[in-house]
């Protein structure tokens, strides 16, 4: 049996608040296969975004193990960590906060190509135009400043930047929650298309089970930093067993699925 793309075991992160130790993430384990979408669901404060930052090594864990592409990700440092990070990218909820708002689209997309040595200076304009086309945007947008374009266009730019390094896994942290319904559907379809064509795996973080049902193969539901339940996304959403799972299903808006095929239908 082949190894999973990502294997997380016993992941734990604690903070001290008011003299007390609080577990933001408490003994969490899960794995992701190549080309699969695993969703992390849960209310605010359940540990979803902390897990994302632990995976990217933006913060360090107190305990646990992360194996990525067959190696110990937590043991890496320096140049080895930077090289491996090219294969593990992230898309945030608010790309305007993640980018320099005055930077041009071309500069945002040029950075990963330059930093990771993917293309020479003369090659990069062509690569940037191809990335824009890949996410459904015109090459003419390259000269525009990030703050001058729409929220949907910025999220497409964020996805273009993420795929520039040809990652095997992208972490999407509430990546569509700030978008209106029609733009959200377009971005979800873009993600599905990229996954089908490039076999990219996603860790899709959201509090919205309606959106998760449209894109995820499996789901892990978190509550207060711990795993409350997990399983096939369609099965869990259809008949949640945990208290928090039932509450999330009750609160989930109905998602129009006519233009976005559910992940369960693609298996």
pLDDT digits (tens, 9 = 90+) for 34-57: 999 999 999 888 999 999 999 999
Q: Where are the domains of the chain?
A: 32-61+77-87+168-267, 94-166
Strand partners, 63: 12
Lay out the sheet containing 71-72: strands in order across.
20-32, 6-17, 63-68, 71-72
pTM: 0.90
Contact between 196 and 237 under an 8 Å Cβ cutoff? The reply is: no
Superfamily for domain range 32-61+77-87+168-267: P-loop containing nucleotide triphosphate hydrolases (3.40.50.300)
- Among 5-19, 83-97, 136-150, the least confident range: 83-97
Average pLDDT (134-155) is 91
What percent of the chain is predicted at pLDDT more than 70? 93
Q: How confident is the model at residue 254 (pLDDT cuts 50, 70, 90)?
A: low
* Alpha-carbon gap, residue 91 to 99, rounded angstroms: 11
Cα dihedral angle (125, 126, 131, 137), rounded to 10 degrees? Answer: 80
Q: Is the pLDDT of residue 261 over 60?
A: no
Q: Poorest-confidence range of 19-33, 89-103, 227-241?
A: 89-103
Kindly give, in sequence order, each residue whose CB lies less than 8 Å from that of residue 236, ignoring residues fewer than 6 positions away: 219, 221, 229, 230, 245
Token digits for 12?
């734990």
**Rama region for 18: left / alpha / beta (φ>0; ψ in -120 to 50; rest):** left
Question: 255 near 184, Cβ under 8 Å?
Answer: no
Supply the pLDDT for residue 258: 36
**In the predicted model, what is the mean pLDDT of residues 29-36?**
96
């Amino acid at each position: 049996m082949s190894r999973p793309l990502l294997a997380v075991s016993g992941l734990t992160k604690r903070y001290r608040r008011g003299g007390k130790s609080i577990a933001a993430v408490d003994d969490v384990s899960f794995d992701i296969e190549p080309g699969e979408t695993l969703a992390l669901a849960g209310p605010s404060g359940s540990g979803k975004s902390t897990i994302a930052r632990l995976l990217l090594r933006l913060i360090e864990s107190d305990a646990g193990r992360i194996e990525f592409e067959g190696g110990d990700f937590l043991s890496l440092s320096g140049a080895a960590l930077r090289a491996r990070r090219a294969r593990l990218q992230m898309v945030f909820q608010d790309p305007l906060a993640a980018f320099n708002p005055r930077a041009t689209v071309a500069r945002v997309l040029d950075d990963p190509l330059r930093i990771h040595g993917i293309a020479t200076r003369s090659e990069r304009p062509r690569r940037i135009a191809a990335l824009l086309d890949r996410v459904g945007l015109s090459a003419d947008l390259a000269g525009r400043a990030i703050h001058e374009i729409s929220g949907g266009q910025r999220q497409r730019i964020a996805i273009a930047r993420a795929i520039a390094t040809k990652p095997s896994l992208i972490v999407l942290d509430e990546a569509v929650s700030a978008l209106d319904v029609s733009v959200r559907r377009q971005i979800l379809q873009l993600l599905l298309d990229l996954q089908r064509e490039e076999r990219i795996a996603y860790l899709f973080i959201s509090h919205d089970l309606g959106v998760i049902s449209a894109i995820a193969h499996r789901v892990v539901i978190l509550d207060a930093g711990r795993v409350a339940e997990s399983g096939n996304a369609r099965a869990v959403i259809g008949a949640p067993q945990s208290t928090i799972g039932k509450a999330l299903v009750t609160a989930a808006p109905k998602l129009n699925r006519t233009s976005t095929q559910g992940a369960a239908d693609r298996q």
